[in-house]
Amino acid sequence: MTYETSRRGFLTGVGATALGASVLPFLKVLPASAAGNDVVVAVTGQTINSLDIHRKGTNRPSYQVAVNVYDRLVSFGTKTLEDGSLSYDYAVIEPEVAESWEFTDDGMAIVFKLRPEGKFQDGSPITAEDVKWSFDRAVSVGGFPTVQMKAGSLEKPEQFEAIDEFTFKINLLRKSKLTLPDLAVPVPMIINAKVAREHATEDDPWAMEYLHKTPAGSGAFKVASWKPGEQLVYERNDDWTSGPVPAVKRVVLREVPSPATRRALLERGDVNMSFNMPNKDAKELSGTEDITVTTTPVENAIYCLCPNLSFEPFKDKRVRQAIAWSVPYEEVFQTAAYGRGAPLWGGQSATPADIAWPQKFPYSTDLDKAKALLEEAGYGEGFEVPLSIDLSQSDWMEPAALLIQENLAKIGIKTTIEKIPGANWRTASLVEKRLPLHLETFGGWLNYPCYYFFWAYQEGHLFNSSNYRNEEIETLTPEALHMPVEDPDYAPKIKRMIEIVWDEVPRIALWQPALNVGTRNLAGYEYWFHRQLDVRGLKKV
Amino acid sequence: MAGRLSTIGLRITHAIPVILGVVVVSFLLTRALPGDPAVYFAGAAANEQSIAEIRTALGLDKPLTEQFLVYAGDVLTGDLGNSLSTGQPVLEDLANRLPASLELTLTALLLSCSIAIPLGVLAATRPGSAVDHLCRVLVTAGVSLPTFFTGIVLIYVFYYLLGIAPSPLGRLDFIYIEPDHVTGFYLIDAAIAGDWETWIGALKQLVLPATTLALFTLAPLARMTRAAMLSALSSDYIRTARAAGLTEDKVLFTYAFRNALLPVITTLGMVFSFTLGANVLVEKVFAWPGIGSYAVEALVVSDYAAVQGFVLAMALLFVALNLVIDLTYTLIDPRIGFETK
Amino acid sequence: MSDLATASLPAKQPDGALAHAAYVLRSNPVTLLAFSMFAVLLVAAILGPALVPYDPMASNAAQALQPPSFDHWFGTDNLGRDVLSRVVVATRLDLVISVAAVALSFLIGSILGSIAGYWGGWIDSVLNRLFDTIMAFPLFVLAMGIVAALGNTVENIVYATAVINIPFYARLVRAEVNIRRDAGFAQAAKLAGNSDIRVLAVHIFPNALPPMMVQVSLNLGWAILNAAGLSFIGLGVRPPTAEWGIMVAEGANFIVSGEWWLAIFPGLALMFAVFTFNLLGDGLRDIVDPRQRT
Amino acid sequence: MSLLSIKDLKVSFKTRRGDVDAVRGVSLDVAKGEVLGIVGESGSGKSVTSYALMRLLESNGRVTGGALSYGGIDLGTVKESVMRDLRGREISMIFQNPRAALNPIRKVGHQIEDVLRRHSRATRSNARAEAIKALEAVRIRNAEARYSAYPFELSGGMCQRIVIALALACDPKLLIADEPTTGLDITTQKAVMDLIVDLIAERGMSAIVITHDLGLAAQYCDRIAVMKDGEVVEEGQAERLFAAPRHAYTRKLVDATPRAGASVRSLLPSELRTAAPVLAKATAPLLEVRDLVKTYQGKSGPVQAVKGISFAVKKGQSVGLVGESGCGKSTTSAILVRLADPTSGEILFNGEDLAKTPAKDFARDPRRARIQMVFQDATDSFNPRHTARHSIGEPLARLSGLSRKKRQDRIDELADLVGLPRPLLDRFPHQLSGGQKARVGIARAIAVDPEFLILDEPTAALDVSIQAIVLNLLVDLRAKLGISYLFVSHDLHVVRLLCDHVIVMRDGEIVEEGPADRVMEAPTHPYTRELLAAAPTPPALAEPTFSAAE
């Protein structure tokens, strides 16, 4: 697919706006509000670098293409939160390409019935063969998609069977509560295998090169034009078969790196949506006329301060606790997060009452207690340690680190703040796990505490940047991971796990972050766990 | 003429070691960048194995010399590799983005020249006067402004507060359709297509970033114009021309200005290449899809191919620019090619 | 023997450098202004920490983002730190960065340029190609690359800024040395028994200094801008250190929300410093230009 | 009635030290068809007078009094636009340094066209033809081809012809020639002056020739005005002026002008003349040059600057090396003083071959002190950052091995020796006059008691009166110290005054060599004769004002 074709597609599909612009030559600047009721303009700070989530090197913002342009077998439902905003519903799995599914009697396989009327964007039918090819691809290409599939115990192509044209069967390796939800994440998207195979080569059996630039899906939107670093234009798929046809015809997603500019654009009404706004802007713009700010705490995510257990003073639990008692939580929350998100400090009991995750840690700011603990641990005179932060997340990390630095100084811990460039951050913090004291953030897509523990508290796992190891956690976590939530053993195990990490605090929770989206004359924004923009439900108001 | 041609030929031969040097230095520089691109691009939930897979895919597991040979070989065949952050071939990215940077830079320089040169001439004809001092203070103030700061202030005032300027959204507001690709310069392409609506749209987007850059480049140009004019005006041939009764206009423009043009052109060349570098910050502020912002993003994520491609493109541009300056010189100054260097 | 009698000489005071400087300052108000501004900068750099009303590092969440007031002339930042104090205290760091970077490039550039200009030949060609190679890089991007590769510390910012400036000094020195290489006084020095290196170091190089001082002054301003630019894209000094560039960069995000003082004041300070150095360069040029002397 | 009349002209310049009066009441007349010479040393106000006349003064200069009248037009008050019409059409001017006087990047033909068209002497269609005519008028052969030439492609003499063509293109009535031959070779000088005078005569023009060279003025001008310190001290017919100068200053100038038959002492004002020193007879050879060759790598192949010359200098002898620019005399002297290496050949100094030691190592050679040099450009040869004392002390510090204290004494002694008042030792070069700098240069050269001194045109940049003094100083020093000289010069008359032996060089070869008197009086080579003929010949003095010392 070349530039030419996509441009032609853009022009022929553009109808309304092109006409609008030429009919109204006197309109010098046409604001978004006047751009027509079926066009939505959104701004984001990030670059979409691929249209294929399976590709190596595809970045997070690109995942939204998988959401908007491709369908999956199933999807999550939608619920309305207390504040009236929409969110996906983790508890409800809904049909998408599949119209129904059932577990086999032994519970070791799931059989999906596909919609017979299902069509790809090129008009060809969606068959079980396509699903199998797509799943085979996801588990074979390696990297992130394979890891994510594995989280749902989807590991080998042999697990996937196309029974007939519209019947698809997944054989399970183990019973796991994670399998079905994992089918609703962006990764197991369904690709038009006929088209993809045409462009596959011996070196490139999975058509990585082709699908990287040219989506072949069945989703609600097509990609009308894509200029990495500039914009992506979605165009409605009027023949969408997996759900109600979206209300808006086109969505222009503009990349504007400067947050100040994004804010200005939204304030001036030149765009309908600013996705992933800084907390400060969200705080200040909420309540303004015409602009709706939707702030949703990110599920299963915590911003935390991590002392690394590979380094001497932090091997002592009391030192970690001392730090936990010394963080100026309220100031950090107000200054770094502008109060957007949920506080995770000041819990009253050292044992959790329920299995909600994240929930308030039993710490608050108490420098005397911190000092006492430090004395007890033999570090009464304090020590020096670098406090590392990620340059690309300095918007929240820097103020948080500065405030933490000040309070740590009060109990005698001298810190120097080290900004690490984005490219190095992941290597240093997660892969080599060599940062003695640092800020960290992890959020699990699958909304279970055990899933969080699996990634962040089990030794050697990627997000356990504290090099934490606790024998009990090591046994409890794998046990709980696949266990259904309803299982009577589940809650006690989780509570025990929470109690342990509260006591040992290898990760000191600062707050639960939130995703801020500002909209203007726009309804239907829905929060998703993947924190990317789902444009399917949007409508102008 | 043969002398001039051989001067230019000599310049081209001089460029070869420079380009070689740039290839080597850019390669080493990118390898020295911190961080492991394999880790970065393996994504959020990657494990050791998937990182290793990516590393192999990128060829980063090979020894450095081998990586360099592979790279040098690819460069020779015109293959600059794929950018990891945009996912596109670097050559394609550069081809798309270079015109944007050039259009911005050239517009800025055009604007800058049209103010700085008359200002410099004016100051040179009245050295030591209030006009002279005023010019000096004004242009110095311009060059003292950090471009990113000017850019932000201009956006705030003209877009946010006054609402005169269009939204700082790159080269064209989304309501316009970009003109058919001929040169990649929107102003030219739109003019070719006869689409004046788009032409004006593109021009409006250009005004603020070009002003930002122009403010910054006024000083060297105005200063050099002033100095060159002063030195030309104090030279013997001006006295001869005056003694022969030539009109002041003729003396000023045909005699003094043409001679003063030589150092001004040299400065212009330096300013041009400097501005292309300084673009980085302006492009970031104005979301301008040029190669400067491309390079910054690539650098931050250790995107080797993109950084190398960018540096190589800039070096070639620099060499080409010097050739253009040499050619301009030979057009203006007949002495070129006869003097020993 | 009329040329000899001191009495018959025009009654001419030996034209001391100070007297000349005083003349330039008197005759050029802009230069006088520049020198006064420079004095202000020096005072801020030397006495800054003692002068400021607040601790530039101390945060005060209750006082965050206060607009300029009597208590906080330049307002407070998002952590409640006093912007005035931070702006004043940052002077020293910014001056140190630029002075160190310029000194380094001056030193290395002078040595390389002198060698190239004095001996010429293949070493000149090699050095020239080297400078061409550095210049062929977009300089700011090269600085970014160096800082990114070496890590963002003050020293590395200094090194990066120095590296990209070396060619300018080297070229200038090369040209200045080259025109004096065969000057009468250089030859006379050789006749007086000076070796080549002595001739270069004692006789030729000091005479190349005046035009270089101008370059140094202009360059100081540019070095500050460069460091600020690096800070702006996140390759600057470590927080919580106060530095103008990083303050503008951080403040930039607050402009649109109306907290203009965060970026404007450090921006103005930055501009003030660069402006001073640039004007100073012109003044220095007047002072050192022999044609301006009687 | 005179064509031009200057009455009591006063010009002053605004400088940092207040107003400086450059011209203080000059009155001059130029009659139709007359050639007036204005002669004076630097700073006499002669050029300023002419610029004031043309109203081309620099921006800090202005006319403070007097009247300028040209053919009834008051040049002082007439509007600038009228003045512009007059310049080039009525009054023209030619300058010294002709190459710089032409726009370097404009074809010479176009520069002439500019003037022609400015004064409506040509239209667009015939401008080219008229310009070529103007070139032909100044006897330029192949004017068609020269039309498209740029100044850098032409020789200095040719450039001066172009400047003349430009000045005369519109048939002005008055030509002002400001040092028109300074910087040109002596043979070219003559050709240019001959041309100017011929053209003036041909066209019946008037002219003002401004020069520092009394001899030249005397040869070409009808009438001469001598200026000093902004005033005309004497005015009169050339012959009369030479024969019976009325003003003391005129007499001093007349005396100081080197001419046939004069001795070095006779150049001095009569009150300063002392008996000429007695020179020891030169006997033993000091320096012997054998087959000296110097080849440069030029753009189009190797260029031989010195083509295998041989000569000898005896102990205590003074040898003159004469030739025009490019003859190889400077290259030869640089090699002899060991600042450059010869391509081949031997330099036997006291029997040792100096050429065996490379120039770059010679600075630390013990023989370094034996050979020294006095440089041509006194300004350029001093480190502007060092005082006179420092400059003189430099060779002492490096070569003599004297203690600091002794060095200071020696410097004072040297200052006395060259007649430099000691207080001046602490001045910087730019605070010294030309003559003083020449003395410092000589003091520096003799500081370490060299046996052999190369004098590279040491008086070329000096006014004649100062030249006279410096030449006498050199003669005295030679007698006192017994140093051998190699005196490099373009001026045969000057060489004769100082040297026993003369070598004439041309194109890297020696064309004639012999005792000074013989070469001057009976030159054998045509080139020597040409050189002698080209030198301006002031009218012979009625009687030598002082009988030669012999």
At A2, is the secondary structure helix, strand, or coil? coil
CB pairs under 8 A between A and B: 169
Using omega within 30 degrees of 0 as the cis cutoff, is the peptide bond preceding A358 cis? yes
End-to-end CA distance of chain C: 25
Q: Which of A309, A295, A317, A311 is nearest to A363 (CA)?
A: A317
Assign D444 a pLDDT band (cuts: 50, 70, 90): very high
CB contact under 8 A, D106 and B247: no
Nearest to D118 among B245, B259, B332 (CB): B245
CB contact under 8 A, D100 and B258: no
pLDDT of residue D550: 32
Predicted confidence (pLDDT) at residue C15 exceeds the cutoff of 60: no
Q: Which residues of A touch C255 (CB under 8 A)?
A: 260
- The residues in A 323-362 lying below 8 A from C, measured between CB atoms, are 328, 330-331, 334-335
- The residues in D 378-437 lying below 8 A from C, measured between CB atoms, are 380-385, 391, 394-395, 397-399, 419-421, 423-424, 427-428, 430-431, 433-436
D163 and D101 in contact (C-beta within 8 Å)?
yes
Using omega within 30 degrees of 0 as the cis cutoff, is the peptide bond preceding D536 cis? no
Q: Does C151 touch chain D (CB under 8 A)?
A: no
Q: Would you state the structure tokens that stand for residue D423, as one six-digit string? A: 């207080």
Using alpha carbons, list the distances in angstroms from residue D84 to B241, D119, D120. 11, 10, 13
pLDDT of residue A116: 92
CB contact under 8 A, B149 and C282: no
Q: Domain of D459: which CATH number?
A: 3.40.50.300
Length of chain C: 294
Pick the residue from chain B with its C-alpha nearest to C151.
B34
A212 and A59 in contact (C-beta within 8 Å)?
no
Q: Which residues of B touch A265 (CB under 8 A)?
A: 167, 169
Predicted confidence (pLDDT) at residue C26 exceeds the cutoff of 80: no
Pick the residue from chain B with its C-alpha nearest to D172.
B244
Pick the residue from chain D with its C-alpha nearest to C204.
D383
Q: Where are the alpha helices (DSSP H) in B234-335?
A: 236-243, 248-249, 258-286, 291-300, 304-332
Using alpha carbons, list the distances in angstroms from residue C94 to B188, C98, C144. 43, 6, 17
Q: Is residue B14 assigned to a domain? A: no
Calpha distance D499→D492 (Å, rounded) = 10
pLDDT of residue C293: 43
Q: Would you state the structure tokens that stand for residue B163, as one six-digit string? A: 């609402």
CB contact under 8 A, A260 and C255: yes
pLDDT above 90 coverage of chain D, percent? 15
Chains D and A contact (Cβ–Cβ under 8 Å for 3 or more pairs): no
Calpha distance D207→D177 (Å, rounded) = 7
Q: Which residues of A touch B97 (CB under 8 A)?
A: 229
pLDDT above 70 coverage of chain C, percent? 90
CB contact under 8 A, B148 and C232: yes
Predicted confidence (pLDDT) at residue D404 exceeds the cutoff of 80: yes
Helix axis angle, A394-410 to A317-326, nearest 10°: 110
User: Which residues, 6+ apart, have CB-to-CB distance to C94 below 8 Å?
Assistant: C224, C227, C228, C243, C244, C245, C270, C273
pLDDT of residue D281: 73
D20 and D13 in contact (C-beta within 8 Å)?
yes
Predicted confidence (pLDDT) at residue A157 exceeds the cutoff of 90: yes
Tell whether the torsion through CA atoms of D304, D310, D314 and D318 is positive or negative: negative
Domain that holds residue D534: 285-383+454-549
Calpha distance D318→B58 (Å, rounded) = 81
**Domain count within chain B:** 1
Q: Which residues of D touch B250 (CB under 8 A)?
A: 114, 118
CB contact under 8 A, B36 and A260: no
D268 and D475 in contact (C-beta within 8 Å)?
no
Q: Which of A365, A350, A353, A356 is nearest to A302 (CA)?
A: A356
Mean pLDDT across A75-85: 90
pLDDT of residue A69: 95
Predicted confidence (pLDDT) at residue B301 exceeds the cutoff of 50: yes
The CA angle A385-A387-A391, to the nearest 5 degrees, is: 150
Assign A9 a pLDDT band (cuts: 50, 70, 90): very low
Element spanning A405, H or E: helix A394-410
Predicted confidence (pLDDT) at residue D436 exceeds the cutoff of 70: yes
Q: Is residue B312 assigned to a domain? A: no
End-to-end CA distance of chain B: 16
**Domain count within chain D:** 1
In three-state form (DSSP H/G/I as H, E/B as E, the rest C), the secondary structure along chain C is CCCCCHHHCCCCCCCCHHHHHHHHHHHCHHHHHHHHHHHHHHHHHHHHHHHCCCCCCCCCHHHCCCCCCCCCCCCECCCCCEHHHHHHHHHHHHHHHHHHHHHHHHHHHHHHHHHHHHHCHHHHHHHHHHHHHHHHCCHHHHHHHHHHHHCCCHHHHHHHHHHHHHHHHHHHHHHHHHHHHCCHHHHHHHHCCCCHHHHHHHHHHHHHHHHHHHHHHHHHHHHHHHHHHHHHCCCCCCCCCCCHHHHHHHHHHHHCCCCCHHHHHHHHHHHHHHHHHHHHHHHHHHHHCHHHCC
Predicted confidence (pLDDT) at residue B9 exceeds the cutoff of 80: no
Q: Class of C18-292 per CATH?
A: mainly alpha
- Please give the mean pLDDT across all residues of chain D: 86
The CA angle D171-D175-D176, to the nearest 5 degrees, is: 155
In three-state form (DSSP H/G/I as H, E/B as E, the rest C), the secondary structure along A280-347 is HHHHHHCCCCCEEEEEEECCCEEEEEEECCCCHHHHCHHHHHHHHHHCCHHHHHHHHCCCCCEECCCC
Subunits touching A (CB < 8 Å, at least 3 pairs)?
B, C
Higher-scoring residue by pLDDT: D228, C64: D228
Beta strands in A332-393 (DSSP E): 342-343, 383-390
Element spanning A233, H or E: strand A231-236
Nearest to C238 among A264, A267, A418 (CB): A418
Predicted confidence (pLDDT) at residue B11 exceeds the cutoff of 80: no
Q: Domain of B147: which CATH number?
A: 1.10.3720.10
Higher-scoring residue by pLDDT: D278, D542: D278
Q: Does D21 touch chain C (CB under 8 A)?
A: no
Look at A347-351, D183-187, D305-309 and tell me which has the smallest mean pLDDT: D183-187
Q: Which residues of A touch C57 (CB under 8 A)?
A: 406
Look at A396-400, B298-302, C226-230 and tell me which has the smallest mean pLDDT: B298-302
Q: Does C128 touch chain A (CB under 8 A)?
A: no
Cβ neighbours around B3 below 10 Å, total: 14
Cβ neighbours around A502 below 10 Å, total: 21
User: Which residues, 6+ apart, have CB-to-CB distance to A155 below 8 Å?
Assistant: A139, A149, A173
Look at A43-57, A182-196, B320-334 and tell me which has the smallest mean pLDDT: B320-334
Q: Would you state the structure tokens that stand for residue A320, as one six-digit string? A: 């970690």
Strand D344-349 relative to strand A539-540, pairing: unpaired
Q: Which residues of C touch A414 (CB under 8 A)?
A: none
pLDDT above 90 coverage of chain C, percent? 8
pLDDT of residue A27: 33
User: Which residues, 6+ apart, have CB-to-CB distance to D364 below 8 Å?
Assistant: C193, C195
Task: DSSP for B138-198, please give it.
Answer: HHHHHHHS-HHHHHHHHIIIIIIIS--SPP--TTS-TTSPPPP-SSS-HHHHHHHHT-HHH
CB contact under 8 A, C3 and D337: no
Helix axis angle, D156-168 to D127-137, nearest 10°: 120
Mean pLDDT across A314-324: 93
pLDDT of residue A17: 38
pLDDT above 70 coverage of chain D, percent? 97
D30 and D38 in contact (C-beta within 8 Å)?
no
User: Which residues, 6+ apart, have CB-to-CB distance to A520 below 8 Å?
Assistant: A32, A33, A266, A269, A271, A272, A273, A290, A291, A292
Q: Is residue D539 assigned to a domain? A: yes
pLDDT of residue B295: 84
Q: Is residue D431 assigned to a domain? A: no
pLDDT of residue D546: 40
Identity of the amino acid at C20: H
Predicted confidence (pLDDT) at residue B45 exceeds the cutoff of 90: no
Assign A361 a pLDDT band (cuts: 50, 70, 90): very high
Domain that holds residue B131: 90-300
Q: How far B69 CA lies from chain A's nearest CA (Å)? A: 23
pLDDT of residue C5: 38
Q: How far B306 CA lies from chain C's nearest CA (Å)? A: 13
CB contact under 8 A, C79 and A260: no
Nearest to D56 among B243, B246, B247 (CB): B243
Q: List pLDDT tens digits, range C222-277.
A: 888 888 888 877 777 777 788 888 888 888 778 777 788 888 898 889 889 988 88
CB contact under 8 A, B140 and C278: yes
CB contact under 8 A, B245 and D93: no
Q: List pLDDT tens digits, range C117-169.
A: 888 888 888 888 888 888 887 778 888 888 888 877 888 999 998 998 898 88
Any idea which residue has 């002008």 for tokens? Answer: D257
Q: Does B152 touch chain C (CB under 8 A)?
A: yes
Q: Does C239 touch chain A (CB under 8 A)?
A: yes
DSSP state of D282: P
Q: Domain boundaries in chain C?
A: 18-292
C128-C131-C135-C139 Cα dihedral, nearest 10 degrees? -170
CB contact under 8 A, D363 and C9: no
Q: Which residues of C touch A333 (CB under 8 A)?
A: none
Length of chain D: 550
Nearest to C271 among B22, B29, B145 (CB): B145
In three-state form (DSSP H/G/I as H, E/B as E, the rest C), the secondary structure along A86-144 is EEEEEEEEEECCEEEEEECCCCCEEEEEECCCCECCCCCECCHHHHHHHHHHHHHCCHH
Strand A539-540 relative to strand D352-353, pairing: unpaired
Q: Does B129 touch chain D (CB under 8 A)?
A: no
Chains C and B contact (Cβ–Cβ under 8 Å for 3 or more pairs): yes
Q: Which of D311, D32, B294 is nearest to D321 (CA)?
A: D311
Q: Does C23 touch chain D (CB under 8 A)?
A: yes
Assign A424 a pLDDT band (cuts: 50, 70, 90): confident
